[in-house]
Structure formats: structure tokens, C-alpha cells
Structure 1
Amino acid sequence: MKIKNIIFDFGGVVMDWDPRYFFKTYFNDDEKMEFFLKNIAVDEWNIEQDRGRTLKEGTEFLIEKHPDWETEIRAYYDNWTTMLKSDIPKNVEVLRKLEGKFHLYGLTNWSEETFPYALENYDFFKVFEGKIVVSGTEKLIKPDPEIFQVLLNRYNLKAEESVFIDDNAKNIATAKNLGFATIHIKPETDLGEELRNLGINF
């Protein structure tokens, strides 16, 4: 079936986000930074904010659990914009070339409170014309198939006419099970080449 729709995850695909961009300078001690990110402010905690828990609730929850790290925990979302280092130019360039040739959509695990900053500060998001499903708004999170269904139903899409692009293997697996063509982004991935391999010319 002919591909009509291309769906982008954002973090790791078109946006370069990593808490280390802030905490490397904050701690000035890589060992302490890694301990904090692997044992205190872990990915599973941050994901709950992407699922819809407020930043305030998430922060207070973690402080209650790790009171000795209160200052560092409060610094996390106070300095979130520093963690959003930049776009990923090579993939944004491909995205821009696709504009007008395919229907473009976003499906992202992102906090409802922090996503507006990215929208306002990176103009390439305009190519999506607001057709973006944000986990924090939906209170659903990838790889849950339900959030994929929200996208399909809201925009009247068929999975088999769509390519889903993400850097997370679990999200890719769910998309494949639902019938999407998929591209798993890794640091070495040439997105343009992967799309052309699927017969998508732009």
C-alpha cells in the first residue's frame, strides 16, 4: 500500500535532549552526575511527567523519596530548557524536504508543561500544522498502543499507509505490531536513505 503519512517522534529524532547537558556543569563531577541520573532522577520518574503528572507533583514526590537530594531534584525542571540543547539538523533537513509531499504528524512522549517551549523556540514544528499528539496531554504514553490509536483515530489515518519514526525500540515494536512501516533512529541512521529504502522519494 502506498505511504501517505509520516509520523515523527521528537526527542532523539529531531530534538537533542539530555539532562547531562545541564548537570555536567552543575555537578562538575561525572561520577556524581551519573549516580544522580541512574539512581535518583531516573528515566522512569521523568516518564511519569510525560504521562501527565505535573512537574510540581513529580518534583515533590522525588524529594519525599530522596530528601538529601532536594536541591539537585529542584534543579532538574528549573533548568529543563538547558537540557534541550538543539535540534538534530540532519533529520530536521529531511523533515523540511517532506513538507508538502506527505502528511506529517508528531507522536511524542513529552510533558504538557514543557512541550510549548520547544514549539515556540524551534520553527520546524510548524510543518506539522498542529497535528501532534503529546503524551502529557493525552495521559497516555508510548509504547502503549492506545496512544497510537489516538493518533490514528484523531486524524483518520491507516497504519498501513504510514511510516513511524522513533529512537526507542519498544515504541518501534508496538508500531510494527499495529501495522506501521517503521524506522528505528540510531546515531548512525541516515533518515533520508531509510525513507528511500521504503520507496519514499522526496
Structure 2
Amino acid sequence: MIKNIIFDFGDVFINLDKPATVNQLSKLDSSFCVSGKMNEINEAYEKGLIATDAFVSFYKSKFPAINEASLINAWNAIILDLPEYRLSFLEQLANEKKYRLFLLSNTNELHIEHVINTCGSDTFNRFKDCFEKFYLSYEIRYRKPDPEIYKYVLSENKLNPEETLFIDDVKENTDAASALRIKTWNLKPGIDDVTMLKDQTCFG
């Protein structure tokens, strides 16, 4: 029986355009390509291991012809909208008080600031208030799919993994949770929607 639900954020509640950052940077600099070092820096930034200034400075050093504002705009281009119907669904679920609700998101300081600016602080606070705990990777220094991030959430909240459902659009992340006996739903954007939650067999 499900007693706890852990939700991802991007492409579960908020819509994302995942290729947008690379597309924008490629338009700004035709030589742009993602390197192993960039992936390393991006992951470190998502874990809060480097500050925003250092993160932006790294990209500025790689692409000196692109100004900082354009780099930040490109980085944030992945973030789209938070549909009201999903927020209403979440609020209804929270109001039922049948489940403990948690958010667990791989994100970073620039992205979360952009989400707040895009959605507006009132909408963002409505969203955040639905959760018992709001876990952002850059604040807790863990990142999905590392097992430690799931163990951290389970331990801190004394959750039984077999009574816990984790919802994420990235299969690597749900596979890692499944390995810890957490029930999972690998939500597929464009096919599934979080509002279909109670129709899923994993929810039974």
C-alpha cells in the first residue's frame, strides 16, 4: 500500500525543452559542442559543489564571444511552464492528506531562480506548500541516480521503501530507486501525465 509519494519536478510538473540549451548555444557559437568537462561541471553545479559565479565563469572562459547574460539565458531555456491543471491536481492530492508528499529534483540555483521568475512567487509557493519536504540536488549535495540521494530521503523521513512511490521521467533514475525496493513510475512526457497517477498499476 502506497503511503508516500516522491515526485520529480522537470517534465513531471513543469514542462521542459531539454534540447533548448544546446540549440541556443550552437546558434551563438557554431563551434559549440558538449564536452566531458562540461558534463562534469554541470553535474558538480547540480550538486551545489560549485557556485553560480564559478559555473558561469567556466562557460565564459570556453566561449568568450558570448556574454554572460546570453549564457544564462541559454542555460535557462530548458525551463518552460508549470501548467495550472497539474498544480490543481497536486493541491487536491495534498488536501486529501492520504499520502506524505515529497519533491526530489536534480536542479541548480540558476534554474530554480528562473522557475520562480517564470511561474511567479505566488504560484511557486502554492506548489512548494504541497510537499512535506522539498529536496533540490544543489541544496542537499546529492544527485539522481546516485543511490545516496534516495537513501537520504528514505532515512531522513523514516520511509518504508515498499510503501513509497517515486515518479520520474528519466528511466535511469527510476531504475536506481527500484534497486532500493522503492516502487516507481517512469513517466513518459507526451504520453503520460502526472494527473494520471491514480490510474497506474504501481499506485495500487
TM norm. shorter chain > 0.5: yes
SS in 1 for 2:179: helix
Residues 43-71 of structure 1 show CA distances to partners (whole Å, capped at 9, x for unaligned) of: 6543332111221111112233x244442
Q: Is structure 2 residue 89 aligned with structure 1 residue 94?
A: yes
Q: In the alignment, what sits opposite 1:39?
A: 34
SS in 2 for 1:107: strand
Determine if contact 2:128/2:134 at 8 Å carries over to the other structure: no
Q: In the alignment, what sits opposite 1:75?
A: 70
Give me the CA root mean square deviation: 3.3
Q: What is the aligned-residue identity percentage? A: 25
Q: In the alignment, what sits opposite 1:163?
A: 165
Once the 2 structures are TM-superposed, how far is the Cα of residue 11 of structure 1 from its aligned partner? 1.1
Structure 2 regions of 5+ residues with no counterpart? none
Once the 2 structures are TM-superposed, how far is the Cα of residue 37 of structure 1 from its aligned partner? 7.0
Residues 3-24 of structure 1 show CA distances to partners (whole Å, capped at 9, x for unaligned) of: 1001101011111233766887
Structure 1 regions of 5+ residues with no counterpart? none
Once the 2 structures are TM-superposed, how far is the Cα of residue 133 of structure 1 from its aligned partner? 1.5
Q: Is structure 2 residue 47 aligned with structure 1 residue 51?
A: yes
- Partners of 2:202 and 2:144 lie apart in 1 by 26
Q: Is structure 2 residue 108 aligned with structure 1 residue 106?
A: no
Instruction: For 1:1-202, list aligned pairs within 5 A.
Output: 2-18=1-17, 32=27, 38-39=33-34, 45-52=41-48, 53-64=50-61, 66-71=62-67, 74-77=69-72, 83-99=78-94, 100-112=97-109, 114-115=111-112, 118=115, 120=121, 121-122=123-124, 123-129=126-132, 131-186=133-188, 187-198=190-201, 200=203
SS in 1 for 2:158: coil
Once the 2 structures are TM-superposed, how far is the Cα of residue 199 of structure 1 from its aligned partner? 6.4
Determine if contact 1:13/1:88 at 8 Å carries over to the other structure: no
Residues 137-174 of structure 1 show CA distances to partners (whole Å, capped at 9, x for unaligned) of: 11111000101111111111111111100111110110
SS in 2 for 1:10: coil
- Partners of 1:81 and 1:61 lie apart in 2 by 16
- Partners of 1:161 and 1:37 lie apart in 2 by 45
What TM-score does the superposition give when structure 2 sets the normalisation length? 0.76
- Partners of 2:98 and 2:70 lie apart in 1 by 42
Once the 2 structures are TM-superposed, how far is the Cα of residue 114 of structure 1 from its aligned partner? 4.4
Residue identity in the other structure for 1:94:
F
- Partners of 2:80 and 2:182 lie apart in 1 by 30
SS in 2 for 1:85: coil
SS in 2 for 1:172: helix
Assess, with a 3 A threshold, how the Cα gap between structure 1 residues 37 and 47 changes in structure 2: closer, same or farther: farther
Determine if contact 1:55/1:77 at 8 Å carries over to the other structure: no
